[in-house]
Copies of this chain bind each other. A is one copy, B any other.
Amino acid sequence: FEHLMFGGSVNVPNFDEKMALDLKHTQSFETYLEHEKEIKAKFWKYADIDIDDPMIDQSLRYNIYQLHQSGANDEKRHIAAKGISGEGYEGHYFWDTEAYMLPFFILTHPKQAKSLLMYRYHTLDEARLEAHNLGVSRGAKIPWRTINGKESSPYYPAGSAQVHINSDIAHAIKTYYYATRDDQFMAEFGLEILLETAIFLLEYGHFNDQGFHLYGVTGPDEYTAIVNDNYYTNKMAQAHFSFTYDYVTKHYDKAHQVLEKLSISVEDLTMMKKASDEMTLLIDQHKKIIKQDQSFMDKKELDIQSIPKDHFPLLLNYHPLHIYKHQVLKQADTMVALVFLNDVEKTLYQNTFDYYLKRTTHDSSLSKCIYGISAYHLGLHELAYEYFKYVATLDLEDRKKYTRYGLHAANLGGSYLMLAYGLFGIRMKEILHLEPAYQKEFKTASIHITYHQKNIHISLKDSKITLTSDGPIELMVYGKHVLVEASYTFGVKVN
B319 lies within 8 A of A160 (CB): yes
Which B residues touch A324, using CB under 8 A?
216, 226
Within the complex, what minimum Cβ distance (angstroms) separates A60 from chain B?
39
How far apart are the CA atoms of A299 and B216 in the complex, in Å?
9
> When A318-B135, A319-B134 are in contact, do A295 and B215 touch as well, CB less than 8 Å?
yes
Does A434 belong to the interface (CB within 8 Å)? no
Number of copies: 2
Number of interface residues of A (CB under 8 A): 32
Among B160, B318, B321, contact of A216 (Cβ-Cβ < 8 Å): B321
Which B residues touch A160, using CB under 8 A?
319, 321
Contacting B at CB under 8 A, from A333-369, are: none
Find the residue from A133, A136, A213, A295 having the highest chain B CB count within 10 A.
A295
A325 lies within 8 A of B133 (CB): no
Which B residues touch A157, using CB under 8 A?
157, 226
Which B residues touch A478, using CB under 8 A?
none
Within the complex, what minimum Cβ distance (angstroms) separates A363 from chain B?
16
> When A133-B319, A300-B206, A318-B135 are in contact, do A215 and B325 touch as well, CB less than 8 Å?
yes
How far apart are the CA atoms of A315 and B300 in the complex, in Å?
31
Does A409 belong to the interface (CB within 8 Å)? no
A295 lies within 8 A of B228 (CB): yes
A57-75 contact mask (Cβ, 8 Å, vs B): 1 or 0:
0000000000000000000
Contacting B at CB under 8 A, from A148-207, are: 156-157, 160-161, 204-206
Does A208 belong to the interface (CB within 8 Å)? yes
Which residues of A does B touch, CB under 8 Å? 133-136, 156-157, 160-161, 204-206, 208, 213, 215-216, 225-226, 228, 294-295, 298-301, 318-325
